[in-house]
Structure 1
Amino acid sequence: MTVNANEVNLNELDLADPDLYTPPDAGLGVLHHLQEHRPVFWNARRGGGPSFWAFTKYADGVAIYLDKTNFTSERGMQVGQTESAARAAAGKMLIVTDGRHSQLRDVMNPALTPRVVRRLETAMRETVGGMLEENARKDSFDFVDTVAGRLPLSVICQLLGVPRADWDLMIQWTRTAFGSAATDEVISDAEKAEANANIFAYYADLLAERRGNLGDDVISVLIRGRIDGEPLTDEEILLNINGLITGGNETTRHASAGAVIALVENPGEWRRLREDRSLIPTAVEEVLRWTAPSLNVMRTALRDTRIGGQTVRAGERVSVWHPAVNRDEDAFPDARRFDVGRTPNRHLTFGLGRHLCIGAALARFELRVLLEELTSRVTRMELTGPVKRLRSNLMWGVDRVPVHLELDHAGH
């Protein structure tokens, strides 16, 4: 939807307010209004924290992503992140590292090769297929809790070598850490902090255990890694494990849940996909464009520069808003229509340039498996209640998607 200009008070607007993304339109009306009327917007923070420039045009987003001379990610990479928190991880964690970025990436790449990903395919299909078969017998179930949340978390746990008995605990901790609640409760900052502390403590113990018993999991790959002949410290390993959990679990979870919502709300596209499964690769890209799980990305200007006709001063923050840039009519014809056959589809969901998401291939593979299992097993999907949006200024997603599915038992 597009919000009327009279409905948006730009003097009071704060894009960093997480409550902006909980209504049914998930803040899209506000972002579309900015794109049409103020594509370069100075966002003065209302509740404290650093102010920033907000860019909602695709071309400006591309320019910011590709400009590694004038912008840095080491002072914060998402709106709402404090500079002190970013500096603590700068140079150690892949997503907030510039100078050593390629070296850290080279260390981590062997853990996420296509061969490694394909090795997990059977387990992925068993997870998705099993959960669909089990829950389709119910009048209604939460797709987020039972399928969308379990598929990526099970994959990440396997990659990290987490024992099967601890997977449910990881699901609980990660959901809480990112403020995701299946009920109407609001996760407090204290609860988020406790969950994050539990995750770090768990992986610190697993790291210590793995040092004495190396395997072929991601943690072992990071232990073996060397940069300029030196091994990674425990802190560097744990920070990058946390990055993998965020990117590998949260992003795919919200994209998977968003895929079901989009297909239910666009029944013609659901029929089209079921009748022609050769469209699944393009459907995956359209799901990624449409759902844009990472709400924004931030950079800090190292020197005065110009973006979108605006002079950005050294030290000022700039942000790219993925749900908006991915729906820019200047970049995507009929951009506000969900089209499983859309091509080309150069969305910015995974970023661009040297900070292109290291787990992009894994996320695409998981979404492909999900769509293949859905189209081969399910004949009909319907929402059985209201969707609950995630309260967050970091992730753009959903907490609850109540659905009813009907299965095609002829093929299974």
Structure 2
Amino acid sequence: MRMSPNAPDGQVDLDSVDLFDPFLHSEGHPHAVWRALRAEAPVHRQQLPDGRQFWSVTRYADACRVLRDHEDFTSERGTLLSALDVGDPAGGKMMAASDPPHHTMLRESLNRVLSARAVNARRNTLLKPVDRLVEPLLNGESTDLAVLAADFPMDFIGTFMGLPESDWPRLTKLTTMAVAPHDPAFQEGSAPLTLVTAHHELFEYFSEQLAARDGTPTDDLIGHLMQTRIDGKPLDHESIVYNCYSLILGANVTTPHTVTGLVQALMDHPDAYRAVVADPSLVAGCVEEGLRWTSPASHFMRYATQDVRLSDSTVKAGSALAVWLGSANRDEDVFADPYTFDITRRPNRHIAFGFGPHYCVGAALARLSLRMLLERVCALVERIEPAGEVRHLASNFVAGVTSMPVRGVPRDGAHPARLS
């Protein structure tokens, strides 16, 4: 996704805004659209050619309210625009598509294995994927960072879930197919067929993984879900499969694009990179600014359960609302100089991981892996240079890239052997 807040001709026609279009997010200027909407129509209704409608929520305060208030805005009818008005069979079963109290009980169970303390205890598990990503930056040759980054989260979520390493490449592609079925780099047939294929294969895969355990819990995330009890009852087969799908999707389709977006920002702002290299205490702040800057999950959808007022608009009961996180994270009323990449930004109350009860359950894992990666890069790589054209992902859900050729310039004495 392009980060420019300005449209090429300087104008944004709000009557023709189409935030549903995945190609706006890959070839257009969504930040320019969001900026205009925040100023002129912060809660904006869009109607699709087939008659379906949704409201775009673009200001930070409104975004936080919608994501926080599960009584006025439900998650159980679908949380992505790809499911607009078609329902979600995972509603009330998958944590991401559930409301409290079911959501709360399921989240508390997963938090026991994905909390900051639990994840930090498995820090050594992250060393291998970190070094796999860094190694190609030490040979002085061009490499596609988007391809490397796409494999990065699968390395650790695959391990955490107890999935065979031989399955990881296909799972990585399937998760991107599920959120970017219109992108030519990931299509297998038409866009609708790509989406159906991704969902079918992923659900079937996790169903088979669960069946292979034959009712015996294993020491991994799938085994943990098998042992989870909600109101004293175990999760059924379908609920476990849905939540496995949600966990792998959440890891695979967001973290890679934070990596590429953060590296792009550091290439565009070499002074910031030099500052982090000189002072490792800036790593955490740099990662947080990278999360705000990239906002890899572009939107989350909710449905109004009753008539509600947001800004100056009345949203009727049953209406769908798309909360645009990338817009909220550029809200001028919350972030000073929001279009400036500032690794010392304080405070930095971004909502890249969402907000409220559905705050990303994997946030601690994502933060730790990103910090470890940046620390390793700063220690071994003098600088990273662009080495080719960047191609952006066609998706209204994920803000990212499909190709990003770069060349690393290693520090004196830094070479792949140092990683062994």
TM > 0.5 fold call:
yes
Q: CA deviation at 1:119?
A: 4.2
- Where 1:335 maps in the other structure, the secondary structure is coil
Do the aligned partners of residues 120 and 167 (structure 1) sit closer, same or farther apart at CA in structure 2, a change above 3 Å counting?
A: farther
Aligned partners of 1:36, 1:57: CA distance in 2, in Å? 9
The normalised TM-score by structure 2 is 0.91
8 Å Cα contact 1:211-1:223 kept in structure 2: no
Give the match's secondary structure for 2:81: coil
Partner of 1:2 in structure 2? 6
CA distance in 2, matches of 1:175, 1:165: 18
Matched, 1:41 2:44: yes
CA contact (8 A) 1:76 1:298 kept: yes
- Paired residue secondary structure (2:330): coil
8 Å contact kept, 2:353–2:359: yes
- What CA distance in whole angstroms lies between the structure 1 residues aligned with 2:75 and 2:120? 32
Counterpart CA distance in 2 for 1:119 and 1:351 is 25
From 47, 68, 75, the counterpart of 2:70: 68
Give the equivalent residue in structure 1 for 2:20: 16
Structure 1 segments unaligned to the other structure (5+ residues): none
* Structure 2 residue identity aligned to 1:175: T
Deviations 1:366-411 (A, max 9, x none): 1111111111111011111121111011111111111000112436
SS in 2 for 1:150: helix
Distance 1:315 1:192, change over 3 A: closer
- The more displaced of 133-142 and 51-60 is 133-142
d(CA) in 1 for partners of 2:132, 2:81:
38
Q: Which of 287, 308, 311 is residue 308 of structure 1 equivalent to?
A: 311
Conserved 8 A contact 1:32-1:324: yes
Q: How does 1:275-286 map to 2 (within 5 A)?
A: 275-286=278-289
Q: Which of 50, 53, 73 in structure 2 is aligned with 1:51?
A: 53
Within 5 Å, give how 1:311-350 maps onto structure 2.
Answer: 311-350=314-353
- CA distance 1:84–1:177, change in 2 (3 Å): closer
Q: Secondary structure at the match of 1:315?
A: coil
1:24-43 Cα distance to aligned partner (Å, 9 max, x none): x6521222222223222111
Question: Given the two structures, how large is their TM-score scaled by the length of structure 1?
Answer: 0.93
> Contact 1:2 / 1:33 at 8 angstroms: preserved in 2?
no
Residue 362 of structure 1 aligns with an amino acid whose one-letter code is: L
C-alpha distance after superposition, 1:110-136 (max 9, x if no partner):
231334422442232232223322353
1:167 is matched with which residue?
A: 168
- Secondary structure of 1:52's partner? strand
* Shift in Å, 1:296: 0.9
Contact 2:133 2:152 in 1 (8 A): no
Alpha-carbon distance between aligned partners in 2 of 1:318 and 1:181, rounded to the nearest angstrom = 22
Task: Please provide the CA RMSD for this pair.
Answer: 2.1
1:314/1:289 Cα in 2 relative to 1: closer, same or farther (>3 Å)? same
- Which residue in 1 is equivalent to 2:225? 222
> Which residue among 268, 271, 279 is the counterpart of 1:268?
271
Query: C-alpha distance in 2, partners of 1:350/1:134?
Result: 29
- Measure, in 1, the Cα distance between the counterparts of 2:317 and 2:264: 41
Distance of 2:412 and 2:204 partners within structure 1:
45
SS at match of 1:14: coil
1:286 Cα offset (Å): 0.6
Residue 212 of structure 1 and its aligned partner are, at CA, apart by 4.2
Of all paired residues, the percent bearing the same amino acid is: 36
Q: Distance in 1 between matches of 2:274 and 2:187?
A: 37
- Establish whether residue 82 from structure 1 lines up as the match of residue 84 from structure 2: yes
Aligned partner of residue 253 in structure 2, secondary structure: helix
Q: Distance in 2 between matches of 1:195 and 1:310?
A: 37
Deviations 1:75-118 (A, max 9, x none): 221223133332x1111011111141111112322231334422
Please list the CA deviations of residues 180-201 of structure 1 after superposition, one character each: whole Å capped at 9, or x if unmatched. 7997575532133223322222
Q: Distance in 2 between matches of 1:323 and 1:224?
A: 36
The one of 124, 127, 130 equivalent to 1:128 is 130
Residue 30 of structure 1 pairs with residue 33 of structure 2: yes
SS in 1 for 2:152: helix
Task: Name 2:409's counterpart in structure 1.
Answer: 406
Instruction: Determine if the alignment matches structure 1 residue 158 to structure 2 residue 159.
Output: yes
SS at match of 1:332: coil
Q: Distance in 2 between matches of 1:215 and 1:154?
A: 19
Q: Tell me by how many angstroms 1:203 deviates.
A: 1.4
What letter matches 1:160 in structure 2? Answer: M
Cα deviation for residue 6 of structure 1 reads 6.5
C-alpha offsets along residues 120-174 of structure 1, whole Å, 9 cap, x if unaligned? 422322322233223532531111112x112211111011101222222322333
Summarize deviations over 1:210-235 as a string: whole Å, max 9, x none.
24442220111111111112110111
Distance in 2 separating the partners of 1:280 and 1:180: 34
Q: Quote the Cα distance in structure 2 between the aligned partners of 1:5 and 1:38.
A: 20
SS where residue 89 of structure 1 aligns?
Answer: coil
